[in-house]
Amino acid sequence: MNVLKKCILSSFILVFFFTIIPAVHAAEGQMYLVNVDTIELKDAPKSNANVIGNLIEGDKLTTFEEHNGWVKTFFRGEAAWVLENNLQAIYLNDEGELASEKSSQSYKAITAEGGLINLPSETAKLDSPNLKSASMEITRNQKNNLSGYHFIVDAGHGGKDGGAMAKKMKEKDLTLSTAKLLAEELKEEGAAVTLSRKDDTYISLDNRTIISNSSDADAFISVHYNANKNPKAAGISTFYHSSKHSKLANKIQNALVIATSMNDRGTKQANYKVLRSNRKPAVLLELGFITNPDELDKIKSITYQKNAAESIVEGIKKYFLENY
């Protein structure tokens, strides 16, 4: 094909898309861009609804319904509501917008099953039958660190509450040093971190959940060490309350078991207060048995705690970063 023909053809294609796309979008839903640091996705169109995720600046979403100032989209296969006034409407018939859309590498959309489909361009996005059946629409900023995310790291026990104890080793001390290492690892990934306690003070379970629920955190990670009458009891387990958060628990548990070679006690649903009253995705980690002499030698070492912290971050990244 000669150059002139190519020029004519591409001009025709551009004119065609500028003409056709706004009409298609009007029928399919309104596109929005997140232009504030972070906003919450809720499971219902009201401010006291459960938080099921967060969007960060640069994320795009398409909405399908409006209700009292809230707009509905889909996230990890669930209906999700966002306050409309935190969003900036975008239109593809604007020349600048279309240019910036096209400069993105590829679009990743989360399907109803929670998987990803790669969309090579905005055009394919509109034409894709997969996407329509998936009824999804959030495209996240492509990145491989945790910048823009905020985590509550909760060191179990503290002050008058020592937690489990064996051979003069107190759980509250092990949880604090591990929580601090975890906070450091998360900050290295660009995340903001709030520690529920930074020293040996008593914080009630209510206050721990208040810290979480009153924040814009993306997840709450509670660090504990286990105890059992049987000194042979060993290994790591991860607990969650809402089944919505079992996936986060699984990702962290898997990463921990692989990196530490500890016994895998699995993930379990549990009715712990800090999980039950938490409106953020919340997990409680039991990182080994203080009552098992072999395991105690291991878990009291900074090497083990740092390894555990790194693998918790690995699990968090596998959960939150779609293309990680």
- CA nearest 73: which of 41, 120, 119? 41
Q: For the chain, how big is the Rg over CA atoms in Å?
A: 23
Minimal distance in Å, beta carbon 253 to Zn ion?
17
DSSP sequence for 174-204? HHHHHHHHHHHHHHHTT-EEEES-SSS----
Minimal distance in Å, beta carbon 175 to Zn ion?
7
Minimal distance in Å, beta carbon 26 to Zn ion?
54
Q: Which of 60, 180 has the CB closer to Zn ion?
A: 180
Minimal distance in Å, beta carbon 171 to Zn ion?
5
Q: Which of 239, 319 has the CB closer to Zn ion?
A: 239
Q: How far is CA 261 from CA 175, 283, 298, 316, in A?
A: 20, 21, 11, 19
Minimal distance in Å, beta carbon 285 to Zn ion?
10
Q: Which of 208, 224 has the CB closer to Zn ion?
A: 224
Q: Would residue 280 be called left, alpha or beta, if left means φ above 0 and alpha means ψ between -120 and 50 degrees?
A: beta
What is the rounded CA–CA span in Å between residue 167 and residue 261?
24
Q: Which of 141, 263 has the CB closer to Zn ion?
A: 263
Which residue's beta carbon is nearest to the bound Zn ion? Answer: 224
Q: Which of 55, 182 has the CB closer to Zn ion?
A: 182
Q: Which of 73, 178 has the CB closer to Zn ion?
A: 178
Minimal distance in Å, beta carbon 157 to Zn ion?
6
Minimal distance in Å, beta carbon 324 to Zn ion?
30
Helix, strand, coil % over all residues of the chain, rounded to 5: 40, 30, 35
DSSP 94: S
Q: How far is CA 98 from CA 17, 142, 213, in A?
A: 10, 18, 38
Q: Which of 69, 266 has the CB closer to Zn ion?
A: 266
Q: Could you give the 3-state DSSP secondary structure of residue 47?
A: coil
Q: Could you give the 3-state DSSP secondary structure of residue 163?
A: coil
- CA nearest 299: which of 197, 228, 224? 224
> What residue ranges bind Zn ion (CB under 5 A)?
156, 163, 224
What is the rounded CA–CA span in Å between residue 288 and residue 296?
8
Minimal distance in Å, beta carbon 134 to Zn ion?
41
Q: How far is CA 184 from CA 70, 106, 129, 217, in A?
A: 36, 32, 44, 17
Across the strands, what pairs with 73?
A: 80
